Amino acid sequence: MQTINFTEFRRHAKTYFDKVERGETIRVIRHGRAIADLVPVGDAETAPSWQQPALRLRISGASLSREILEERRSDR
């Protein structure tokens, strides 16, 4: 793991993101304390749930919206 200070990261962010994209991990230090680890993104299974594809529900038969509209017409 490579360690860099925050100022160096700001000046050369593209270079460090290129390294992360190639699989390296970078630790960013500010005032002597670690503030961030830049790590490569994993596959979809390790991504947060809000980034994963949603399930598609399909139900054969009548459309819910159509049934609601029919019920509204019959109530008049």
The whole-number average pLDDT for the span 71-76 is 84
How far apart CA 52 and CA 9 sit, in angstroms, is: 30
Q: Among 2.60.40.1180, 3.40.50.11290, 3.40.109.10, 3.40.1620.10, what is the CATH number of 1-41?
A: 3.40.1620.10
Q: What is the pTM of this model?
A: 0.53
Structure tokens at 72: 């509204």
Segments making up each domain of the chain, as ranges: 1-41
User: Over the stretch 20-68, which tens digit does the pLDDT of each residue have?
Assistant: 989 899 999 999 999 999 998 875 456 667 777 777 767 677 678 888 8
Strand partners, 29: 5, 34
Q: Give mean pLDDT, residues 6-13.
A: 96
pLDDT on residue 18:
93
